[in-house]
Structure 1
Amino acid sequence: TLQPVEGNQLAPSLFHYSTEPTEETAQPANRLNEADALIQSVFTTHQIQAGQSLEGDRHRLVVPLIYQQDFLAILALDRHPPSQPWTVEDINLMQGVAEQASLAISQAKLYQRTQKQAEQMRAELEVARQIQGNLLRQSWPELDGMKVQACCYPAREVGGDFFEVYTHPQGDIWLAVGDVSGKGVPAALFMASAISVLRRELSQESPPEPHIVMQNLNQSLSDDLISANCFITMVLARYTPTTQKLVYANAGHIYPLVWSREAIASRQTAPADTITLEPNYLKVRGIPLGILPIWKATAGSLDLRSGEVLLLTSDGITEATIQTPEASNGHAGAPAAGSMLQQTGLWRLLLNEQQPLDLTHLLARIRAHNTIQEDDQTILSLEVL
């Protein structure tokens, strides 16, 4: 009979085996009795004990199963007369068996605890995923003369990528895409902090200029970022529809892209390679947030007119691996099979996208080449109609 031990007491469950099985072998009568002197002695000495059973009708050997001072179970072996009592050789043999059994039981219990903890962690991460998803805006007001799209796919249950679309009461449209270094829960916590501070800045009656907002973000987050050896890359842009002026600040993030829808449409209808078209890369940029206590960089600006598109992405897009030359469509310079997409490859994909631009379709094309998503992927666009 093998009966587990919980807190120096016999647990209710047991495992019973007999060379002569009967219908009664699994009945409660087979449970070990803590009043048995051998059982009490084993609890006290943690040593194998041999003698007569409590009922006096069996030769009993009681073996403690202990691993690293953890009392796991008691194994009671009974011999019915006329069998001989347990010998020294029997006891030595069972000592070796007990050591192996103790290790096996300990590993099994460790596995059960690990599985339970993993299940609990998965449940908690699912809740965290839902909370993080709710932090990102799921919708925004209809914008007269403009179209905004945004997608964000974490590589794990939660991630460090984020975006923001904020319509200020004065009419300005604020757009942001950010990427916290690292992945998983630590990145997600900094992501939540960054969104919170950013929304506080943008909700002011008269928000500061984009580069001042970046300075304020860095001032609020830099101590925690530096102590955690993390940083945030981010692009923040403000578009004023009345003046068609776009002002942006970049903290070490990928260059935003601007292009004309009409130019792409003209190229798609022209013979292959007869028109060379490149986007406008917005290259005014500073260092990431959290690198230095004080963030300094100038803001960039340009006119974003009717028919033009602004695209912001995270490096999970540009560092995605393209496994086939689909993006080239016969055009030179497209990403080769198995190569990193990069911004040039993304531009080739954009050139071959059907109009109007659909970010969900574009991202599906990129993700189709990656069986394993290695990084968070975020993409946001603003089209002036």
Structure 2
Amino acid sequence: MQVQQKSTEEIISQLALMQQEISELKIAKIALDAQTQMLEKLIEMAETPELEHVLNVTLEQVVDISIQVTGAESSYLVLFNEHSVIKNKIFKHLYLDSLEQQNLIHRVLEQEYFTWVVNHPVVTAIPDTFPYKRLKILPECPPFARSVLSVPIFKHGQLLAVLTLMHSQAEFFNTTSVSIMEMMAKQIALAIDYARFYGQLETYSQALKLDLEQGRQIQQNFLPQPVPGLTGWEFASFFQPARQLGGDFYDTFLFPDGSIGLVIGDVCDKGVGAALFMGLFRSLLRIFSEQTFSNANISPTQAVILTNNYIAQNHSELCMFATIFFGVLNPSTGLLTYVNAGHEPPIILRSSGVRQRLHPTGPCVGPTYNVHFQEQQIQIEPGDIILGYSDGVPDARSPKGDFFTEKRLLSLLEEPAPNAIALVDRIKKQLECHISEAEPFDDITILAVHQLAPPS
């Protein structure tokens, strides 16, 4: 009989342990489900960069999920800044409309309550608020806060927020509620911390976008205006950076003797760094061209050599370089004197239909000090078009990754173009059709110069 009684006591004890384990597992399951919900929301926000007011959305989700897992009727979440000053407030009551909730949001809890929370930095269930004067939530102590579950949210020892769950029934929150919110507190801290960081990142991103847009406008302003009052010649161009800022550039400028400088270049890489060097290359070519002119000898070779040596001597550690075609055109005679420093060979479209290429006469500009560049000349006749472009034209990619190719470009030149503008427009339209919705692969630059044929 004694053995049977002992066996019964052991069974009862084991059943009690099993019930406790089941209860703990249920609590863990509820907390895990809530944490999973919060994690899914974080991932959703991370994949939706255009989402505004991320912090407020996160706080509202914390409030909703906390009400869901504890059965609370209302919830009040207060977020503090790094100086422990209240920054955000979210109040939700299941049985009040939005206007009533808005009217209560600044009156629900008083500062004395938060002082009490700081002195009790653990999840605490207050079974009945009536005996606690400091917890009287409104002067009339509204019935929706008869029992309270206080959840302080800490991160690295700093109080981030206080989540207060409320119910109109006394002794509503129990040890299970406390256990669930203890498990959720770290996840809530992570969510709030992430949202804060995301908000700061969004602010920085917007500032960066503004800076880049200003940079884009400045770079666009670098592009030359049409050469004024030049009878018998026509200029057309197209410039499209792969990003907001690009490394391609072109330039046309007038020398005092009436000659025209023609430049098309491509700085290695893309983006801000390439754009800065693009401005440097452009400025150096202009400065050194003016110097050579003052010496009564307009020499594209000398300007390119001086530019090359400056970059190689002062910026060699950055390994930046550019391919450059630089020509000096005499509009009276049609003589083009040029240097092609590793650039895509411009095409001369003769009025007779014959095509000629202006192949490289030296290496790219910048990597090596004091290299040799050869100068060459070609005669441009009435009706001829000089077409220069960057490698972004043949390398333009379709949504499937197919290149535009030089072969396709050349096929567009088989049909005679009436003028430079029509030719550039033809190439531009084909490029746009080819690229379609694809992400731009490289900067695209086109410059066309047309010697008009005399009227018949």
TM-score (norm 1): 0.81
CA–CA distance in structure 1, aligned partners of residues 278 and 395 of structure 2? 20
One-letter amino acid of the structure 2 residue matched with residue 114 of structure 1: L
1:364 aligns with 2:429: yes
Match of 2:185 among 65, 82, 98: 98
**Corresponding pairs, count:** 355
Matched, 1:217 2:307: yes
Trace 1:124-135 onto structure 2 (pairs within 5 A). Answer: 124-135=211-222
Matched residue of 2:372: which SS?
coil
CA contact (8 A) 2:84 2:159 kept: no
**Contact between 2:235 and 2:448, CA under 8 Å: does it hold in 1?**
yes
Whether 1:382 aligns to 2:382 is no
Which shifted more, 371-380 or 168-177?
A: 371-380
Secondary structure of the equivalent of 2:326? strand
Instruction: Check the 8 A contact 1:250/1:284 in 2, yes or no.
Output: yes
Aligned to 2:388: 312
Distance 2:411 2:315 in 1: 36
1:259–1:308 CA contact under 8 A, matched in 2: yes
Give 1:260's match in structure 2, choosing from 342, 346, 350.
350
Structure 1 353/120 Cα, relative in aligned 2: closer, same or farther at 3 Å? Answer: farther
Partner of 2:226: 139
Distance in 1 of aligned mates of 2:444 and 2:396 = 9
* Distance in 1 separating the partners of 2:262 and 2:285: 11
- CA distance, structure 2, for counterparts of residue 29 and residue 369 of structure 1: 58
Aligned runs of 1:1-385 on 2, under 5 Å?
Answer: 1-11=76-86, 13-18=88-93, 21=96, 25-26=101-102, 27-28=104-105, 30-36=107-113, 39-40=114-115, 42-43=117-118, 46-51=121-126, 53=132, 54-55=134-135, 58-67=146-155, 71-79=159-167, 82-83=170-171, 87-204=174-291, 205=294, 206=296, 208-223=298-313, 225-261=315-351, 263-264=352-353, 277=354, 279-321=355-397, 340-357=403-420, 358=422, 359-371=424-436, 372=438, 373-385=440-452
Structure 1 residue identity aligned to 2:79 = P
1:324-365 deviations in Å (ceiling 9; x for gaps): xxxxxxxxxxxxx98534434322201125323422233222
Q: Tell me which protein shows more helix as a share of its residues.
A: 2
Distance 1:153 1:97 in 2: 51
Deviation at 1:148, TM superposition (A): 2.2
CA distance, structure 2, for counterparts of residue 136 and residue 312 of structure 1:
15
Contact 1:14 1:31 in 2 (8 A): no
Structure 1: runs of 5 or more not aligned: 265-276, 324-336
Q: Name which of structure 1's ranges 44-53 and 249-258 shifts more when overlaid on structure 2.
A: 44-53
Deviation for aligned residue 1:44 = 6.0
| TM-score of the pair, normalised by structure 2 | 0.70
Return 5+ residue gaps in structure 2 as ranges: 1-75
| Partner deviation per Cα, 1:243-282 (whole Å, 9 max, x = no partner) | 4322111221111212312x23xxxxxxxxxxxx5x2112
**Residues 280 and 299 of structure 1: CA distance in aligned 2, closer, same or farther (over 3 Å):** same
What amino acid is aligned across from residue 379 of structure 2 in structure 1?
D
- Separation of aligned partners in 2, 1:174 and 1:99: 66
Q: Following TM superposition, by how much is the alpha carbon of 1:161 offset from its aligned partner in structure 2, in angstroms? A: 0.8
Q: Highest Rg: 1 or 2? A: 2
Could you tell me which amino acid in structure 2 is paired with residue 63 of structure 1?
V
Identity %: 26
How many angstroms apart in 2 are the aligned matches of 1:297 and 1:75? Answer: 73
For residue 24 of structure 1, report the CA deviation from its aligned partner: 5.5
Which protein has greater RCO, CA pairs closer than 8 Å, 6+ apart?
1
3-state SS of 1:183 partner: coil
CA offset at residue 64 of structure 1? 1.9
Structure-1 separation of matches of 2:159 and 2:314: 44
Q: Deviations over 1:352-380 (max 9, x none)?
A: 25323422233222222111332111111
8 A contact 1:322–1:366 mirrored in 2: no
Q: Deviations over 1:196-225 (max 9, x none)?
A: 222212334346511211111122223565
